[in-house]
Amino acid sequence: MPELQILALEHNNFTGQVPSSLGNISSFLQLGLKDNRFGGSIPSDLGKLKSLTFLSLSQNSLSGTIPHSLYNLTSLQTLSLALNQLSGSLAPNMGLHFPNLRNAYFDKNSFTGLIPPSLSNISVLRTFYVSENNLYGNVPGGLGRLEYLELFNLEKNNLGSENEGDLDFLANLTTSLRKLSIFRNRFGGMIPHSIGHHSRKIEILYLGDNMISRRIPVEIGNLISLIGLAMEDNNLVGEIPSSIGNLVTLQALFLGGNRLQGTIPSSLGNLKNFLNQLILLYLQNNSFTGYFPTTVGELINLNVLDISHNKFSGQIPSELGKCSSLNSLQVQANSFEGRIPSSLGSLRAVDYLDLSSNNLSGGIPFELQNLSSLQTLNISFNQLEGSIPTEGIFSNVTRLYLQGNERLCGGIPELHLPKCARTNQVKNEKRRSMSSTVVIIAVTVSTFFGLVLVAIFTWILRRKGPKRNDTPAISLAGGGQLLRLSYKQLWDVTNGFSAANIIGVGSFGSVYSGDLGDKPIAVKVMNLKKHGALKSFKAECNALSKIRHRNLLQILSCCSSLDYKGNDFVALVYELMPNGSLESWLHGSSILNLSQRLDVAIEIASALEYLHHDCEPQIVHCDLKPNNVLLDADMVARVGDFGLAKILQEATSPGNLSQEQSMSSLGIKGTVGYVPPEYGMGGNVSSEGDMYSFGILLLEMVTGRRPTDEIFNANNSLHNFCKSRATNYSNISDIVDSYLLAKLNT
């Protein structure tokens, strides 16, 4: 085939090695072997094809280095080696060998080393892709000579030094540039002001996931052709420049994960005249304040809005209901107040809605149950009250998060919430028929005066709106507040949930140590793949938000969010108990003496007395055992792990389940050896069950024996063992922990 000029074998299933004999067809102008299953190395004989202008070996399984002979192909205009397993470095003098190269694709391999400085000699270069390799060092400053460069992709390498001057090369780039990505590298320093002076053609600018600092330059607003702008996960500070409103073609804006602050600029807020093409808007994990602009309703093309983990205040704009294309709305962990806008029920395309950890009040709009596309709804940790709808997303307890709203009632039986009083039912029936107002139901003397009162209150509320409260907080017993902690914060303080930080593993997840500023914390991450884990999380949040006692473990935060992979994430954050569990002090290398055991026993009893007699409503722990008793720095006992705890509603409370109803369907199992026998036979949960567990725990503290030790069985339990020997004083030494006896005899 001496006259063959073009061989195109792309998108097949050819295997084996690329035939070296192809190098003998000197007439080749184009050779395309893309998207096959070729392996082995690139044959050096391809370097004989002096007339070759196009060579594509991408999307195969080629390995090894680029053969030096390939740099002899001085006629090449396109070279594509992407998506292979190639290694080694790009030749430093590469730019001297490819004077005609227009398009170079080296991305998604394992190349190392520097970007060749000689690249600036390829004066006709238009496309240069080296993303997803292991390149390091600085970007050569001479790239400004590449006046035709349009596509420049360096993302996902180790480029930069995290220092000032890393981004100086941006100042010299050509005005022909259309796409630039340095995403996920190690670039530091500031974005040069001159970035806005060089290219008004640029459509994609991705600078995210680096170490870039200082302010966003005002000149960014000169890049009027931008479609995508990403600067997320850096160290940017200051406010969003108002000039960003000049980017009239912008469709995606990523500014999350920085240290930006201030209010949303008026130009960004004037969405009707500016950013009306926006599809993706990410502002999460910053320190923005003030009201979120009501003109957000003009963003009819918006798919994703994430303003979570900021300091926005005021009400959630009801105009969000006009964003008919919205798929995901995340406003959690701010200081929003007032009612949930019923207009959110118009978001027919939304599948993820998170309003958690704000200061929202009032009832849940029944319109939300009509959102047929909604897959996840999180309205936890607000101050919501009243009846819970029962249809749509509210019928799926696995995708619904309501914890931390103590005055909610009703809903489907699986939620295990008290029935609503009659007044709540009337309120919600009225709210269904009046979507734009909140109707206050008054107890009327007659039907006539009742309707008059409703009309008056409705008219007032329509004119004035709900009053604002400038104290966003999640209330705890005793007036405390839960901290609002994001997934990112917990990730950071636990070193990415490192195995080295694990201090315990339980039935429903793992516990990690961390430092929140100068405060040591324990982070209990629930494994949602475990059956009952989410229920345990909700139970513990519900129980711990109601209690405050020196002998109970203090909860600092409940986090319900998404992890970096988009999976559901829930965690409980406690103060760290540096001396571990009672279990380790009874059966470990360090043993408590008699006086210490007595102190611990009294402190546990004090905690139970509080739970059973001083709590309103009463709380039953249901899983008291040495592993769930922790010791602080002063060896003071703290009862923890309320994952199986049950709150017993008073039988006489109007609208609530009776105690018998509340307890008969629980199916509590507790921990073998400590759980009362009657629980295993369907008995009701009660405070007496906790006292049985406490009794077993006391016996364990005295004897140094676990109730699950091998010597014990159904006919000879720890309780029976002690009982049979306690009748004769001479047998007491058989019962008492040998360690205590040794101490008493010394």
Binding residues for ATP: 524
The closest alpha carbon to 305, from 357, 272, 256, 367, belongs to 256
Collapsing DSSP to helix, strand or coil, 109 comes out as coil
The rounded distance, in Å, linking the Cα atoms of 528 and 535 is 10
The rounded distance, in Å, linking the Cα atoms of 250 and 228 is 6
Collapsing DSSP to helix, strand or coil, 648 comes out as strand
For residue 220, give the DSSP letter.
G
The rounded distance, in Å, linking the Cα atoms of 333 and 600 is 38
Rg, the chain, Cα only = 33
CA distances from 36 to 5, 59, 86 (A): 21, 7, 15
What are the start-end ranges of the E strands in 182-234?
Answer: 204-206, 213-215, 228-230
Name the burial class of residue 470, with classes exposed (0-12), middle (13-18) and buried (19+) by CB atoms within 10 angstroms of its CB. Answer: exposed
The rounded distance, in Å, linking the Cα atoms of 71 and 96 is 9
The alpha-helical segments, DSSP class H, found in 266-314 are 266-269
β pairing state of 555-562 and 568-575: antiparallel
Buried b (16+ CB within 10 A) or exposed e, 520-550: ebbbbbbebeeeebbbbbbbbbbbbbbbbbe
Q: Which of 166, 233, 623, 641 is catalytic?
A: 623
Q: Determine whether 623 is an active site residue.
A: yes
Angle between helices 687-703 and 718-726 (to 10 degrees): 60
- 353 is written with which tokens? 């809605």
Collapsing DSSP to helix, strand or coil, 153 comes out as strand
Is the separation of the CB atoms in 194 and 219 below 8 Å? yes
Give the number of other CB atoms < 10 A from CB of residue 165.
15
For residue 426, give the DSSP letter.
H
Collapsing DSSP to helix, strand or coil, 515 comes out as strand
SS3 content of the chain, % helix, strand, coil (to 5): 30, 20, 50
Residues in the chain: 746
β pairing state of 204-206 and 158-159: unpaired
For residue 10, give the DSSP letter.
-
Q: What residues have CB less than 8 Å from 597, skipping those under 6 apart?
A: 701, 702, 740
The closest alpha carbon to 654, from 365, 403, 400, 420, belongs to 420
The binding site comprises 524
Collapsing DSSP to helix, strand or coil, 215 comes out as strand
β pairing state of 519-526 and 568-575: antiparallel
Collapsing DSSP to helix, strand or coil, 28 comes out as coil
- 307 is written with which tokens? 């303003």
- 79 is written with which tokens? 């070279």
**Residues labelled as active-site residues:** 623
